[in-house]
Amino acid sequence: MANRLDFTLEPGDQETLARISGPLDAHLRLIESRLGVAVHNRGPRFNLTGPGGAVKAAGALIHDLHRMAQEEPVSLEQVHTALQTAHVEGLAEPEGTGDDPTLRLKRVVIRGRGPRQAKYLSAIARHDLSFGIGPAGTGKTYLAVAAAVAALEQDRVQRLVLVRPAVEAGERLGFLPGDLAQKIDPYLRPMYDALYELMGFDQTARLMERQVIEVAPLAYMRGRTLNEAFIILDEAQNTTLEQMKMFLTRIGFGSTAVVNGDITQVDLPRGQGSGLKHAMQILQGVEGVHITRFQAGDVVRHPLVQRIVEAYEAHDHASGKPAGESELGSGRSADGA
């Protein structure tokens, strides 16, 4: 039996209601499709019908959007994110975060979009070494860079070191045109983009010139010990076992390290095991280490991206592939899957 919920939004001015509904009612249609409810409205008067829990969640979501719409336009991405935090798709609550994971930077305030992002931010704050494992679009890199910028602005670290393996070139960059910066830029661009958004281009450039911020390929970490630094290893699924051990042993006193990757997107040559997969196995339960596992439902990009990830996961499950052994990019994976 379908449940029904009726309510009237106040204030119910036309601009606010248009922001809630979205272009051609796109926001309301997304709520309908994701929650399995029917949404009807005439001006500020809304009528929702569907399963009891879904109707209640949809009503609360529309009220939340109404509060947002009174202050600023509402995007489809914000509706998508709000749906994830409605706790109707099996997402777990953060496990005992106990603190507010909000990052207050000089230029912007960053909050986790959904419970697992909040858990991830809290884990970074509480642990010397944190892993973020999951598909593209879950915010792993952006949130890690935001946490690093917050630590630098609050003088909790003296510098930032952002690292990626340049696996597509086998870390032999000599054949690429240009100087060193031009050779490695394509591999490090996502972290540059996050820095520019969070700190501004001029400030980022000044700090990089002073070597307060260092962006480098993984091969350049060998032989170093990094004290009082915030260190991020991105795309860590493309590290070998030896490279991962090398990176993890660079962590010095007063430092925080974050390792991110997607174990279904391994691009290593055939026969080489992923250092990220290996580290997850042997470091599980080690004091000072936390692993946050993102899922398809945590994707905060276009809803189609989430559905694509879910489709690949369903295909792997039907094919009997173990978790993390997707055919996505695995033509050169360690086990040749």
Q: Are 44 and 131 members of one domain?
A: no
Residue 174 domain flag = yes
Range list of H helices, the chain: 14-21, 26-35, 52-69, 76-84, 115-126, 140-153, 180-199, 201-209, 241-248, 275-283, 303-319
Residues 172 and 299 in one domain: yes
pLDDT value of position 115: 82
Q: What is the pLDDT of residues 142-195, one digit of tens each?
A: 999 999 999 999 888 999 999 988 755 444 444 555 555 555 566 677 788 889
Q: Are 75 and 223 found together in one domain?
A: no
- The CATH number given to whatever domain includes residue 130 is 3.40.50.300
What does the alpha-carbon distance between residue 297 and residue 305 come to, in Å, rounded to a whole number? 10
Residues 258 and 312 in one domain: yes
CATH classification of the domain holding 28? 3.30.1370.10
How many domains in the chain?
Answer: 2
The per-residue pLDDT string of the chain (337 residues; one tens digit each, 9 = 90 and over) reads 578 999 999 988 999 999 999 988 889 988 887 788 899 999 999 999 988 888 998 999 999 999 989 988 988 878 877 776 665 543 333 343 445 578 888 888 888 877 888 899 999 988 999 999 988 778 899 999 999 999 999 888 999 999 988 755 444 444 555 555 555 566 677 788 889 999 999 999 999 999 999 988 888 888 888 888 999 999 999 999 999 999 999 898 889 999 999 988 888 888 888 999 999 999 988 888 999 998 877 776 666 766 787 788 788 777 766 554 444 444 333 333 3
Tell me which residue range forms the domain holding 31.
3-84
Task: Give the pLDDT score at 303.
Answer: 67
62-102 pLDDT, tens digit each: 999 999 899 889 888 788 777 766 655 433 333 434 455 78
Q: CA nearest 261: which of 235, 293, 232, 225?
A: 235
Of 165, 136, 331, the closest CA to residue 244 belongs to 165
Other Cβ atoms within 10 Å of 308 Cβ, number: 18
| In a domain? residue 14 | yes
Per-residue pLDDT at 311: 85
pLDDT of residue 121: 92
pLDDT of residue 331: 38
Residue 221 falls within a domain, yes or no?
Answer: yes
Residue-level pLDDT at 327: 45
Q: Which residues of 191-222 are buried (b: 16+ CB within 10 A; e: fewer)?
A: bbebbebbbeeebbeebbeeeebbbbbbbebe
In a domain, 100, yes or no: no
Residue 16 in any domain: the answer is yes
Does some domain include residue 111? no
The pLDDT of residue 218: 86
Is the pTM of the predicted complex or chain greater than 0.85?
no
Pick from 84, 101, 132: which residue ends a domain?
84
- pLDDT at residue number 322: 55
Closest by alpha carbon to 145, among 96, 190, 106, 212? 190
Q: Would residue 104 count as lying in a domain? A: no
Q: Report the alpha-carbon distance of residue 170 to residue 162 in Å, rounded.
A: 19
Q: Are residues 43 and 161 in the same domain?
A: no
